[in-house]
Amino acid sequence: MTDPPPFGLVRVEIAVEDASVLLIYLPGEPEIRLVAKDFWHSNVAFASTPCTITIAGETWPIAFGLGQIDDWHRFTMRRPDAARFLAWLHGTGLFDCEQAEGEFFTRWRWAEPLQERFVDALLQARIRESRDG
């Protein structure tokens, strides 16, 4: 088990191969695992700088990088940024939710946009649980 990030930060890990995103993973309880819909031929472009990540042309701020192990890029995002990031990812239609808490898992499959406030509340609860844990 990995240590939880500091208060208000969400840990994110992204598996990248040939500059394309294959999988996005948020460790914790419950963990969230998003898999590229075209996993074996993913063309979801990925790039990073010390302060940002770019996925499918959209750039997102990161709080700090945690390093890279093999094809896994690890970093933390501020909770509001992570909520916007997940809501945006849902809207792209590029990822399937393979594993998550029940309501998040169900809502990911809805055609309606994933509401940022719902995602933020889920992330807030995960942070509280890891802190109180």
Q: Average of pLDDT values for 99-120?
A: 91
Q: How many domains does the chain divide into?
A: 1
Question: In this model, does residue 14 exceed pLDDT 60?
Answer: yes
The CA distance from 50 to 65, in Å, is 7
The CA distance from 67 to 56, in Å, is 21
Residue 121 lies in a domain: yes
Residue 1 lies in a domain: no
Q: Do 36 and 22 meet the contact criterion of CB atoms below 8 Å apart?
A: yes
Return the ∠ at Cα 45 (arms to 110 and 6), rounded to 5°.
75
Residue 2 lies in a domain: no
The pLDDT score that the predictor gives to residue 1 is 41
Q: Average of pLDDT values for 102-115?
A: 90
Assign 3 a pLDDT band (cuts: 50, 70, 90). Answer: low
Residue 81 lies in a domain: yes
**In this predicted model, what pLDDT tens digit does every residue of 89-108 receive, in sequence order?**
999 999 999 999 889 999 99
Residue 3 lies in a domain: no
Residue 68 lies in a domain: yes
**In this predicted model, what pLDDT tens digit does every residue of 23-79 receive, in sequence order?**
999 998 788 999 999 888 888 999 999 999 999 999 999 999 998 999 999 999 999
The CA distance from 27 to 31, in Å, is 5
The pLDDT score that the predictor gives to residue 6 is 54
Residue 4 lies in a domain: no
Residue 15 lies in a domain: yes
Domain that includes residue 52, residue range: 9-132
